[in-house]
Amino acid sequence: MTGTLSVVAVPIGNLEDITLRALRVLRTADRVACEDTRETGKLLKLLDVAAPRLVSYHDHNAERRIPGLIEALEAGENVALVSDAGTPAVSDPGFKLVRAAIEAGVDVVPVPGACAAIAALCAAGLPTDRWRFVGFLSAKAGARRRELAALAGAGETLIFYESPHRVTAFLEDAAEALGEGRPAVIAREITKKFEEFRRGTLGELVADPGVVRGEVVLLVGGAVAEVAGPADLSAVVERLLAAGLPPSKAAREAAKETGVTREAAYAAVMAAKEGAS
């Protein structure tokens, strides 16, 4: 029988955030695949977990490590996949091992727990009904600006990870690409002693980002669709009617262009026709 690959979330700061299930899985695993064996070794010691065999698995050696880990799983060993902090396979190469395990017919089991993106989102005060995890943008300024520009029309709350020394540059580029008035939050050192949520507009945060160090999550409110005013709707309707569109089609096109309801657009069409007659 094959073993099981457990995707185990570990604390992002506060050790009390470890789950009882995660402790059990870590204590019974034959191997733990981790980004940094030294960091995970320290964490397991603090959690009073006798360290099993630790295998380094990170961006630079993932392709080399996967065959050996799959071989161990196929031989019946249980492997726990962890990151240095939080939930593995989120903004790290963990998904490659998960995908390889699935292709090999190995059971993959999530052991949920702390995740910086979700922790920041639930306390940020921005809408949570629709959100998009973007993760790290490019470290190069030009590419980062293009990536932000492509997100300008996104209506959902945007969640980014960023290195502390690039936060100021990120905020400046975001304010230019998304608008200085867009609501935003800097969440730093989540669950740790110096946890801070700094809220404001992108323009305000550019002017005063506070002391930025430690782990950082940046959240930006989604774009708000502009609702056409009466004058805008009337102008669109007049143009469409002048082009010879029948009332029903003119109403449909006006609704698409302005964002108003089909009923409101049709009422504007009929009012314009009555006015013309």
- 225 lies in some domain: no
Our CA dihedral for 53, 56, 57, 62, rounded to 10 degrees, sits at: -110
pLDDT average, residue stretch 188-206: 95
Question: Do residues 208 and 268 both lie within one domain?
Answer: no
pLDDT value at position 38? 95
Checking if the pLDDT of 228 tops 60, the result is no
Question: Do residues 104 and 131 both lie within one domain?
Answer: no
Find the domain containing 213 and state its range. 117-220
Question: Do residues 65 and 130 both lie within one domain?
Answer: no
Checking if the pLDDT of 194 tops 60, the result is yes
- 66 lies in some domain: yes
Question: Do residues 136 and 165 both lie within one domain?
Answer: yes
Q: Which amino acid is at 11?
A: P
Condensed to tens digits (0 to 9), the pLDDT of residues 34-47 reads 999 999 999 999 99
Question: Do residues 8 and 97 both lie within one domain?
Answer: yes
- 89 lies in some domain: yes
Choice between 52 and 113, residue whose per-residue pLDDT is larger:
113
Checking if the pLDDT of 25 tops 70, the result is yes
Question: Do residues 65 and 99 both lie within one domain?
Answer: yes
pLDDT average, residue stretch 193-198: 94
CATH of the domain at 92: 3.40.1010.10
CATH of the domain at 167: 3.30.950.10
> Domain end: 90, 114, 138, which one?
114
Question: Do residues 157 and 201 both lie within one domain?
Answer: yes
Choice between 131 and 261, residue whose per-residue pLDDT is larger:
131
> Domain end: 220, 248, 266, which one?
220
Checking if the pLDDT of 229 tops 80, the result is no
Query: Beta-carbon neighbour count of residue 223 at 10 Å?
Result: 16
Nearest to 199 by CA among 252, 123, 269: 123
pLDDT value at position 211? 85
> Domain end: 96, 114, 132, which one?
114
Q: Please report, rounded to a whole number, the percentage of residues in the chain having pLDDT higher than 70.
A: 97
pLDDT value at position 232? 82
Checking if the pLDDT of 224 tops 90, the result is no
- 200 lies in some domain: yes
Question: Do residues 132 and 182 both lie within one domain?
Answer: yes
Half-sphere exposure (Cβ direction) of 195: Cα atoms closer than 13 Å: 12
Question: Do residues 43 and 137 both lie within one domain?
Answer: no
Question: Do residues 12 and 51 both lie within one domain?
Answer: yes
Question: Do residues 238 and 207 both lie within one domain?
Answer: no
Question: Total domain count for the chain?
Answer: 3
Round the average pLDDT of the chain to a whole number and report it.
93
Condensed to tens digits (0 to 9), the pLDDT of residues 99-132 reads 999 999 999 999 999 999 999 999 999 999 999 9
pLDDT value at position 83? 95
Spatial separation of the C-alpha atoms in residues 57 and 70, rounded to whole Å: 13
Question: Do residues 172 and 214 both lie within one domain?
Answer: yes
- 80 lies in some domain: yes
Spatial separation of the C-alpha atoms in residues 257 and 235, rounded to whole Å: 11
Nearest to 237 by CA among 272, 277, 276, 261: 272
